[in-house]
């Protein structure tokens, strides 16, 4: 996604006045070619990560709850994850 596609997310995060905040990342990831591992490697190390596979095992929902310190950190992780082919951010 282009930077402009994150303007809405950025505006929502900018409305939050108190940081750090607990934030939940959720990505839908194709279960192929190490893409799940790539997404997980982008997430905060201290985050609580969980996985949920589709019945067909073609996709994995990757969820991570982590304390984030700035809106920029959240946007950066989301941009990097969705730059991986086939990854969707929810």
**Residue 2 pLDDT class (50, 70, 90 cuts):** very low
Strand ranges (DSSP E) for the chain?
21-30, 48-53, 59-68, 88-89
Residue tagged 């934030």 (tokens): 23
**Residue 4 pLDDT class (50, 70, 90 cuts):** low
The predicted pLDDT at position 28 comes to: 96
Within 10 Å of residue 18's Cβ, how many Cβ atoms?
5
The overall average pLDDT reported for the chain is 90
> Does pLDDT of 7 surpass 80?
no
User: Half-sphere exposure (CA, 13 Å, Cβ side) for 52?
Assistant: 6
Determine the Cα–Cα distance for residues 52 and 28; give it in Å rounded to an integer. Answer: 9
70's tokens: 């700035």
The predicted pLDDT at position 77 comes to: 95
**Residue 86 pLDDT class (50, 70, 90 cuts):** very high
């Amino acid at each position: 996604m282009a930077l402009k596609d994150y303007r809405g997310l950025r505006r929502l995060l900018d409305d939050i006045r108190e940081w750090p905040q607990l934030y939940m990342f959720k990505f839908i990831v194709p279960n192929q070619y190490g893409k799940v591992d790539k997404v997980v490697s982008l997430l905060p190390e201290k985050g609580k990560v969980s996985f949920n596979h589709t019945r067909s095992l073609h996709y994995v929902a990757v969820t991570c709850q982590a304390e984030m310190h700035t809106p920029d950190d959240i946007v950066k992780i989301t941009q990097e994850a969705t730059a991986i082919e086939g990854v969707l951010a929810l």
